[in-house]
Amino acid sequence: MTIKDTNRSSVLSNQMDELYLNAFQSKYITKEALEGNERLHFFDVEDEIDYKIQINHVRSKYSKEMAGVKKPQLPSGAKCPICIENVGSKGKENLQHIPIELGTTPFFLQLTPFPLYHHHFVLISEEHKPMEVSSESFKNQLNFLDMLPTYTVCSNSDREWAGASILSHLHYQVFKKLALPIFNTKAKAQFIQNQVTYTLCNYPLTVIKLEGKDRILIEIALQTVLSKWRGTNNENTFNTAMRRLNNEYQVYLVFRNPAFRTPENLLKYKYEGVGVIEACGEGILPTPEGENAQELNEAIKKEGKHIIKGILEGLNPLSEGAALAFFNQLKGE
């Protein structure tokens, strides 16, 4: 990284920290939004992974309060709730943003009012264009990591019911110093090719981790895995989590397909789609409600590990044998 790049990274980091702190003063984010959710940990001795669950009381309370309330009309020019025209519009006067270019493509950063962690930003394309999992999308995320290597970039997919959120508008989730359960996965199989380490992770979902110092070689590896995965079924896609560690790029490719969803017996805990953070081992569950609320709440606390692992296993589009066969194809076997 050159001095110019270092200065640019420092300026951006300071801007993001300032925006984050100002958000509390303007009440765009409240302490309750971060402290009001229940956070549970479930260590798995076999996997050696600390699975997590957030019971999202804050979002559930807001959804309940807004039930039946008519949503405000989008401002002029906006095509969805995260378009840049929403910034400073009626009802969103406290919403601020930071312009940023990824390569030559204009993006902007804004905070979410319902953060999952501290310093939780949304990185949004200035142009209203659909979500994509592609070489260009991978480059966007790597460009951001090059600017802010202390952040983690996570992406939902481009297929409904396969870890997607707002499909109509390209965006990523970025977090400062984020620690996800998936980062602690052990290797089931591994090989090195073109200075990139490929790891098939021991995890309830099929996950391949790519590691290397050379960004170009990482991009080539990403395109290779994507082409092979999507080549078998056009609905195949990924959730992704990327970070820099010890001067290396680490990319976690979480295999997804919309035909594989939460098992029916677990829908009582999680009836919505499962996004990237959950696919990475931290379940985001709504507050249990109704006549069985107490029973559900107790079950989450006692059986949380089995619930989150059961959901992930239900989402897995590949059997253990098929995952290993796919992995071996990548090294030419």
Read off the tokens for 229.
Answer: 């995965």
Assess if residue 76 is contained within a domain. Answer: no
Q: Where are the beta strands (DSSP E) in 25-170?
A: 38-44, 49-55, 98-102, 105-111, 120-125, 151-155
**Residue/partner pairs of 317-322 with CB below 8 Å, 24 or more apart:** 317/206, 317/236, 317/255, 317/256, 317/257, 317/259, 317/260, 318/206, 318/255
Q: Are strands 120-125 and 98-102 parallel, antiparallel or unpaired?
A: unpaired
Q: 3 pLDDT exceeds 50? A: no
Percent of the chain with pLDDT over 70: 98
Amino acid letter for position 313: E
Query: Mean pLDDT across the stretch 293-298?
Result: 97
Count CB neighbours of 25 within 10 A: 9
Assess if residue 91 is contained within a domain. Answer: yes
The DSSP 8-state label assigned to residue 238 in this structure reads E
Q: How confident is the model at residue 5 (pLDDT cuts 50, 70, 90)?
A: low
Query: What's the predicted TM-score (pTM) here?
Result: 0.96
Query: Mean pLDDT across the stretch 221-239?
Result: 98
Assess if residue 71 is contained within a domain. Answer: no
Percent of the chain with pLDDT over 90: 91
Q: In degrees to the nearest 10, what's the CA dihedral of 315, 202, 300, 58?
A: -70
The DSSP 8-state label assigned to residue 202 in this structure reads -
What is the count of structural domains for the chain? 1
Assess if residue 259 is contained within a domain. Answer: yes
Instruction: Pick the closest to residue 281 from 59, 43, 115 (CA basis).
Output: 43
Assess if residue 75 is contained within a domain. Answer: no
Q: 75 pLDDT exceeds 80? A: yes
Q: Are strands 49-55 and 282-285 parallel, antiparallel or unpaired?
A: parallel
pLDDT tens profile 260-269: 999 999 999 9
Read off the tokens for 27.
Answer: 């009440």
Q: What does the pLDDT read at residue 70?
A: 80
Query: Mean pLDDT across the stretch 53-74?
Result: 86
Q: How confident is the model at residue 286 (pLDDT cuts 50, 70, 90)?
A: very high
Q: How confident is the model at residue 333 (pLDDT cuts 50, 70, 90)?
A: low
**Bigger pLDDT: 31 vs 7:** 31
Measured CA to CA, the distance from residue 109 to residue 104 in angstroms comes to 16
Q: 275 pLDDT exceeds 90? A: yes
pLDDT tens profile 118-134: 999 999 999 999 999 99
Assess if residue 326 is contained within a domain. Answer: yes
Instruction: Pick the closest to residue 273 from 285, 289, 255 (CA basis).
Output: 285
Q: How far apart are the first and last CA of the chain?
A: 37
Query: What residues make up the domain containing 248?
Result: 3-65+83-330
pLDDT tens profile 161-188: 999 999 999 999 999 999 999 999 999 9
Assess if residue 72 is contained within a domain. Answer: no
187: Cβ contacts below 8 Å, ≥ 6 apart: 199, 200, 201, 202
Q: What does the pLDDT read at residue 170?
A: 98
Measured CA to CA, the distance from residue 179 to residue 150 in angstroms comes to 11
Residue 54: CATH number of its domain? 3.30.428.70
Assess if residue 77 is contained within a domain. Answer: no
User: Where would I find the H helices in the chain?
Assistant: 3-25, 31-35, 57-66, 135-147, 215-232, 276-279, 293-315, 320-330
Q: How confident is the model at residue 64 (pLDDT cuts 50, 70, 90)?
A: confident
The mean pLDDT value of the chain amounts to 95
Amino acid letter for position 30: T
Amino acid letter for position 29: I
150: Cβ contacts below 8 Å, ≥ 6 apart: 13, 176, 177, 244
